[in-house]
């Protein structure tokens, strides 16, 4: 089966009833970091096809309704109509500013969804408030544009009561990390089986340009004419700190990479968190140009890929682990080779913390993108479903009359 | 333990009704003692009402005035509507308990005190200048001094128990003694002890021993001139159990899930005095209902609304501070027109207020407390047992009208208990549910679903749940187009939608039964109440009608919004309207505004329920002003 295939609402294989959530299975770790013999290709291309990690994937149940990617040729084997990108578009006018990075995310989601589902009526988008949270209006699926910061709560209630649905949360840096930071963290620790796309533009767009909880210190905005004083969040680090079971980062100007991240997020069972660097060309234009534009991208970004060494700048530089410190090294002066570089292991949380935290706000080092961390642990909704079933099996279907008469009763005639 | 059948030497007198109050430290187990005495009383077939009254601190420092925990119980052979205005028997486990509760005891009433808790240190902690047992201040009461601590220690001398564990059993002595005094059966308490301490034989046997010692103490000491008997009440035929309001709410929700076939999703956050509802519901998973302890009050209601979007019934319960946090989501439920039940087990406010004390001060918040024009149905339960029907009704209306519904209970109902005639599930009102599908859903000429095209009678919109092919649609907090449900900023549309949402709620009056007027159908004074004041008002009205020629009626409102259509008519038949409320006057303002009448307010804001006598005085005063 493909990595992209996600059996929704099926209980984790081998999880005993009422068992404590197990830690990641031993098999999650690669037997040993394979040494990459050949230099990595260009950063933009190499993360497109994620390595298969079969040990982490539960077996595909016979009733799984998810079709494989058309490229795999089994899309029609189910005898069901195959959806196309157009099926997911609504007639509603898309009202983002022309040039906004939000369009790229919408396009990527509409492009990958036909590969990931054959029943669009089972797909639900839940958003909060903000520019990005208009997203559900543009998806021809079920959706709710809820309350500022509260999308995780609505999505948690929905998924926990209807585990068979395919639920996506759309949020932004203000929505998820300011007014909704509490819910965001709790959703991640519970590991509700859904995908979260956080549009990080480091600014408040809808309220016309105040600094956000991800804005850099000293940012001059309408609400901070002398520069903002707030230390920013690093969303990926926050997610990892909240024990997210899937953490990835991508960017609006790399549609292929974004699609790859969306596929992998969807394949993950549990809360899959994808941070998207998104340009707000009206209030914070160019915030991520260092990482997204052709001239600077090779030097300023590193795309992590499971089992591959961390190399960047067209293979001329690498990231080496020196004690617990990450250093950039030249690979083209004959002193170092890719063998010296840190080999990425997306099942290693310690590595994930190192890379997410050290490769941040440091102009001397590249900014990482890709899947930082993935862990197979039971999803909240599946465990709740299982508990309900286990209790029902033990006690039998509820009998209202018996329940009303429980305890000491007496009869008056 | 073998002498339970020894002949009683003390004469027995018969009483029609009695009020007993157990008071002690919050660590003395007074709630358990009161609960067990209530249980025995219910099994003795008396009608009863209880008032647990405890501090917010879990273990306040021992011996202090603010650490006193009390449990009041009123039982009788006739219908009992209140926990009792005046106490006939006070059991005071220490000096502080006596000081705090003496004012509730009728003159001539009996006071049992633990003689061992009146040392100088106890008196100091209770702020007594002199020992009340010696300074004559208890003259006029029948005081029985019992060395409760000493007798308990003696009884357990052979047990391998610490002094602390030994002393913890002394409430069983008090319970045994009280059971003896009122000729209650002792076996239910024994059974309870056996069950509760099943895994610890020493503690189990110690409690059984002390319970027996207390029961037989009365016969041995000759300190009691008489025992009392309260004959069984003449209740309607049926099968009964005792029930607390919070448990009745839980059962009402389970009944709603069974009768509707809807899976209830109960999202909540722990808060006094509503948490027991979660404790109860979380045990009932075999009914398919899911409970979710959320990270906060907002997530609690948000998850419930998410479940309703998914075609379940979202329910959340809390107290006033929690409702304040949930208001934005209640507004979203109004805008998205999804069913949602919000239960408010009210407590004294504002802010944190007095969490363990009862009040009815969230009425205005329930009706009006949201941004924008956000009408929602509001109903209230009137007795602990009535919480069952109120919860069922709230769920039914939420689904039928696709709206959030606010159900008001309070701390007195939630923790108070009464004998409850168990309803027949088959006799509950029908609870039909319809989900739109591609066959019957309203669509435009292109076949696109129109999620806001309403039912002509109820004005409810169709409920289409995710997973239904061809009915994909988007909901949200932005104003909706009247038909498509798309975002609309059209001025006319906003006005029409605002009016439609109001008319939908107002239309609920069509299905309300005619108002029941208890007491006189017309006359001098009409008492209008709502919620937990039912018993006190009923007792007061009965009393006035028994003792005088005044013609007094009583209407108790189940629905606060919308108000029943025939209320105006009933009001016209009386000279004066009196509105007793456990708040500073909230329903009275609604009535004055709606009916343009000079309704008289009787506010009580002390964290305690009304005494019937307080309402009697107000009825007399209103009657004399009416002429
Ligand atoms: S304000 Fe910025 S984020 Fe919002 S739509 Fe416009 S460009 Fe996009």
Name which of B321, B504, B325 is nearest B397 in CA terms. B504
- Residue with the two structure tokens 């599930």: B425
**Phi, psi of A55, rounded to the nearest 5 degrees:** -60, -25
Domain CATH for A145: 3.40.50.970
The continuous run of DSSP H or E covering A214 comes out as none
Give the gap in angstroms from C-alpha A391 to the nearest C-alpha of chain B: 6
B475, A144 contact by CB (below 8 A): yes
Q: Whole-angstrom Cα distance, residue B79 to residue B420?
A: 12
* A191: in domain: yes
What is the residue-wise DSSP string for B361-390? TTHHHHHH-SSSS----EEE--STTHHHHH
Q: Which tokens hold the place of B415?
A: 């923790």
Query: pLDDT: is B389 or A52 the higher one?
Result: B389
Question: Which atom of ligand 1 is the closest one to the Cα of A99?
Answer: 7
Q: Which of A157, A400, A408 sits opposite B305 (nearest CB)?
A: A157
B621, B550 contact by CB (below 8 A): no
| pLDDT-based confidence at residue A413 (cuts at 50, 70, 90) | confident
Residue B56 has a pLDDT of 78
Ligand 1 binding pocket includes A207 (Cβ within 6 Å): no
Which of A283, A285, A288 best tests ligand 1's pocket when mutated (most atoms within 8 Å of CB)?
A283
Number of independent structural domains in chain A = 1
pLDDT tens-digit readout, A166-175: 999 999 999 9
Q: Is B572 helix (H, G, I), strand (E, B) or coil?
A: helix
Q: How far is CA B481 from CA B376, B436, B475, B476, B504, in A?
A: 20, 19, 11, 12, 16
Q: How far is the CA of B476 from the centre of ligand 1 (A)?
A: 20
Q: How far is the CA of A287 from the centre of ligand 1 (A)?
A: 13
| Mean pLDDT on A210-226 | 96
Residue nearest to atom 5 of ligand 1 (CA): A96
Q: Whole-angstrom Cα distance, residue A323 to residue A317?
A: 19
B137, B102 contact by CB (below 8 A): no
How far is Cα of residue B65 from the mean position of the Cα atoms in its chain? Answer: 25
Residue A55 has a pLDDT of 38
* A39: in domain: no
Residues of B in contact with A159 (CB under 8 A): 306
Q: Whole-angstrom Cα distance, residue A77 to residue B323?
A: 52
Give the gap in angstroms from C-alpha A366 to the nearest C-alpha of chain B: 37
Q: Whole-angstrom Cα distance, residue A205 to residue A202?
A: 9
What is the residue-wise DSSP string for B165-178? HHHHTHHHHHHHHH
B500 exposed, middle or buried (CB, 10 Å; 0-12, 13-18, 19+)? middle
* A348: in domain: no
- Taking an 8 Å cut-off on Cβ atoms, the answer to whether A142 and B294 are in contact is no
* A337: in domain: no
Residue A36 has a pLDDT of 38
Query: pLDDT: is B62 or A194 the higher one?
Result: A194
Name which of B480, B492, B457 is nearest B338 in CA terms. B480
pLDDT above 50 for A69? no
Which of A103, A282, A285, A286 best tests ligand 1's pocket when mutated (most atoms within 8 Å of CB)?
A282
* A272: in domain: yes
Ligand 1 binding pocket includes A239 (Cβ within 6 Å): no
Q: Whole-angstrom Cα distance, residue B241 to residue B115?
A: 36
Q: In what order do the strands lie in the sheet with B574-581?
A: B518-519, B552-557, B523-530, B574-581, B600-603
How far is Cα of residue A364 from the mean position of the Cα atoms in its chain? Answer: 27
| Mean pLDDT on A367-371 | 98
Q: Which tokens hold the place of A289?
A: 């140009």
Q: Whole-angstrom Cα distance, residue B266 to residue B278?
A: 8
- Residue with the two structure tokens 């009815």: B360
| pLDDT-based confidence at residue A44 (cuts at 50, 70, 90) | very low
Ligand 1 binding pocket includes A130 (Cβ within 6 Å): no
pLDDT above 80 for A30? no
**Phi, psi of A359, rounded to the nearest 5 degrees:** -95, 60
- Please give the interface size between A and B, counted as residue pairs whose CB atoms are below 8 Å apart: 200
DSSP class of B480: B
Residue B5 has a pLDDT of 44
Residue B369 has a pLDDT of 96
pLDDT tens-digit readout, A308-321: 999 999 999 999 99
DSSP class of A177: I
Name which of B570, B565, B556, B552 is nearest B621 in CA terms. B552
* A365: in domain: no
Domain that holds residue A128: 83-293+378-404
Task: Please give the domain boundaries of chain B with CATH numbers for all domains.
Answer: 12-229 (3.40.920.10), 241-427 (3.40.50.970), 434-511 (no CATH), 518-626 (3.40.50.920)
Q: Whole-angstrom Cα distance, residue B128 to residue B138?
A: 13
| Averaged confidence pLDDT in chain A | 85
Query: pLDDT: is A63 or B146 the higher one?
Result: B146
Question: Which atom of ligand 1 is the closest one to the Cα of A278?
Answer: 3
Query: pLDDT: is A92 or A344 the higher one?
Result: A344
Q: How far is the CA of A288 from the centre of ligand 1 (A)?
A: 14
* A106: in domain: yes
Query: What residue ranges of chain B have pLDDT lower than 50?
Result: 1-6
Q: How far is CA B103 from CA B51, B106, B114, B298, in A?
A: 16, 8, 18, 42
Q: Which of A139, A144, A403 sits opposite B476 (nearest CB)?
A: A144
pLDDT above 80 for A68? no
| pLDDT-based confidence at residue A80 (cuts at 50, 70, 90) | low
Question: Which atom of ligand 1 is the closest one to the Cα of A95?
Answer: 5
Give the gap in angstroms from C-alpha A331 to the nearest C-alpha of chain B: 49
* A14: in domain: no
pLDDT tens-digit readout, B462-485: 999 999 999 999 999 999 999 999
pLDDT above 80 for A26? no
- Determine which of A54-63, A296-305, B605-614 has the lowest per-residue pLDDT on average: A54-63
Residue A361 has a pLDDT of 81
């Amino acid at each position: 089966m493909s990595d992209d295939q996600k059996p929704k609402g099926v209980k984790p294989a081998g999880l005993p009833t009422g068992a404590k959530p197990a830690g990641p299975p031993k098999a999650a770790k690669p037997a040993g970091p394979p040494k990459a013999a050949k230099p990595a290709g260009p950063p933009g291309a190499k993360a497109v096809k994620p390595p298969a990690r079969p040990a982490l994937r539960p077996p595909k149940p016979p009733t799984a309704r998810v079709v494989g990617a058309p490229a795999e040729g089994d899309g029609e084997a189910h005898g069901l109509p195959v959806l196309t990108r157009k099926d997911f578009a609504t007639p509603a006018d898309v009202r983002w500013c022309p040039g906004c990075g939000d369009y790229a995310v919408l396009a990527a989601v509409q492009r990958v969804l036909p590969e990931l589902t054959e029943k669009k009526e089972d797909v639900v988008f839940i958003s909060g408030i903000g520019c990005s949270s208009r997203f559900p209006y543009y998806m021809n699926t079920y959706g709710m544009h809820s309350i500022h910061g509260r999308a995780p709560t609505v999505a948690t209630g929905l998924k926990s009561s209807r585990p068979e649905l395919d639920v996506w949360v759309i949020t932004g840096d203000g929505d998820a990390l300011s007014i909704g930071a509490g819910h965001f963290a709790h959703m991640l620790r519970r590991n509700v089986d859904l995908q979260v796309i956080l549009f990080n533009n480091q600014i408040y767009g809808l309220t016309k340009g105040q600094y956000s909880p991800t804005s850099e210190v000293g940012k001059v905005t309408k609400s901070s004419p002398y520069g903002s004083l707030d230390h920013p969040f690093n969303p990926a680090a926050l997610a990892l700190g909240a024990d997210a079971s899937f953490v990835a980062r991508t960017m609006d100007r790399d549609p292929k990479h974004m699609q790859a991240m969306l596929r992998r997020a969807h394949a993950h069972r549990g809360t899959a968190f994808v941070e998207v660097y998104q340009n707000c060309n009206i209030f914070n234009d160019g915030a991520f140009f260092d990482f997204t534009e052709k001239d600077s991208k090779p030097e300023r970004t590193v795309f992590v890929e499971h089992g591959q060494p961390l190399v960047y700048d067209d293979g001329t530089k690498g990231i080496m682990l020196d004690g617990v410190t990450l250093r950039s090294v030249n690979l083209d002066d004959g002193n170092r080779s890719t063998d010296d570089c840190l080999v990425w292991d997306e099942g290693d949380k310690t590595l994930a913390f190192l890379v997410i935290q050290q490769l941040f706000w440091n102009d001397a080092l590249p900014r990482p993108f890709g899947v930082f961390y993935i862990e197979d642990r039971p999803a909240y909704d599946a465990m709740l479903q299982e508990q309900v079933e286990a209790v029902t099996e033990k006690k039998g279907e509820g009998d209202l009359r018996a329940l009303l008469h429980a305890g000491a009763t007496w009869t008056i005639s | 333990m073998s002498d339970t059948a020894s002949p009683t030497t003390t004469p027995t007198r018969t009483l029609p009704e009695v009020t007993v109050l157990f008071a002690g430290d919050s660590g003395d187990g007074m709630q358990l003692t009161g609960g067990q005495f209530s249980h025995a009383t219910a099994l003795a077939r008396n009608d009863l009402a209880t008032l647990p009254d405890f501090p917010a601190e879990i273990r306040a420092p021992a011996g202090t005035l603010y650490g006193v925990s009390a449990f009041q119980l009123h039982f009788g052979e006739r219908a009992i509507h209140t926990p009792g205005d005046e106490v006939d028997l006070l059991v005071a486990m220490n000096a502080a308990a006596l000081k705090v509760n003496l004012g509730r005891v009728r003159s001539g009433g009996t006071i049992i005190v633990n003689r061992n808790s009146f040392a100088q240190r106890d008196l100091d902690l209770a702020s007594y200048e002199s020992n009340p047992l010696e300074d004559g201040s208890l003259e006029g009461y029948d005081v029985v001094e019992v060395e409760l601590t000493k007798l308990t220690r003696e009884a357990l001398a052979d047990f391998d128990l610490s002094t602390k564990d030994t002393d913890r059993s002394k409430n069983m002595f008090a319970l045994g003694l009280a059971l003896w005094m009122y000729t209650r059966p002792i076996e239910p308490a024994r059974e309870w002890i056996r069950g509760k301490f099943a895994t610890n034989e020493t503690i189990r046997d110690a409690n059984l021993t002390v319970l027996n010692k207390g029961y037989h103490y009365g016969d041995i000491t000759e300190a009691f001139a008489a025992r009392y008997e309260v004959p069984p009440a003449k209740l309607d035929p049926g099968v009964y159990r005792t029930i607390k309001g919070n448990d009745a709410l839980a059962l009402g929700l389970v009944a709603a899930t069974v009768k509707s076939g809807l899976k209830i999703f109960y999202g909540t956050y722990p808060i006094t005095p509503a948490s027991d509802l979660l404790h109860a519901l979380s045990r009932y998973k075999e009914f398919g209902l899911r409970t979710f302890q959320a990270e906060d009050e907002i997530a609690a209601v948000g998850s419930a609304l998410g479940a309703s979007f998914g075609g379940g019934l979202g329910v959340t319960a809390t107290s006033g501070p929690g409702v304040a946090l949930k208001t934005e989501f209640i507004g979203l439920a109004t805008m998205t027109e999804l069913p949602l039940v919000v239960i408010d087990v009210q407590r004294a406010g504002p802010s944190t207020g007095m969490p363990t004390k009862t009040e009815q001060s969230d009425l205005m918040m329930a009706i009006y407390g949201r941004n924008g024009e956000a009408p929602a149905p509001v109903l209230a339960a009137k007795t602990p047992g009535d919480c069952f029907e109120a919860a069922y009704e709230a769920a039914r209306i939420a689904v039928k009208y696709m709206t959030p519904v606010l159900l008001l209970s309070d701390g007195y109902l939630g923790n108070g208990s009464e004998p409850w005639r168990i309803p027949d599930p088959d006799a509950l009102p029908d609870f039909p549910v319809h989900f739109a599908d591609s066959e019957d859903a309203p669509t435009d000429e292109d076949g696109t679903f129109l999620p806001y095209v309403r039912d002509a009678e109820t004005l409810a919109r169709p409920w289409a749940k995710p997973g239904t092919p061809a009915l994909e649609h988007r909901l949200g907090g932005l104003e909706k187009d009247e038909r498509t449900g798309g975002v609309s900023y059209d001025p006319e549309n906003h006005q029409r939608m605002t009016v439609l949402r109001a008319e939908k709620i107002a239309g609920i009056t069509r299905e309300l039964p005619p108002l029941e007027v208890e007491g006189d159908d017309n006359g001098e004074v009409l008492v209008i109440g709502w919620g937990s004041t039912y018993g006190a008002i009923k007792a007061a009205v009965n009393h006035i009608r028994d003792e005088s020629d005044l013609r007094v009626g009583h209407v108790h409102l189940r629905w606060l919004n919308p108000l029943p259509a025939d209320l105006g008519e009933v009001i016209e038949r009386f000279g004066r309207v009196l509105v007793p409320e456990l708040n500073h006057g909230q329903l009275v303002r609604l009535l004055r505004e709606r009916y343009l009448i000079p309704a008289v307010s009787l506010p009580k804001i002390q964290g305690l329920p009304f005494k019937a006598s307080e309402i009697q005085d107000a009825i007399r005063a209103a009657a004399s002003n009416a002429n």
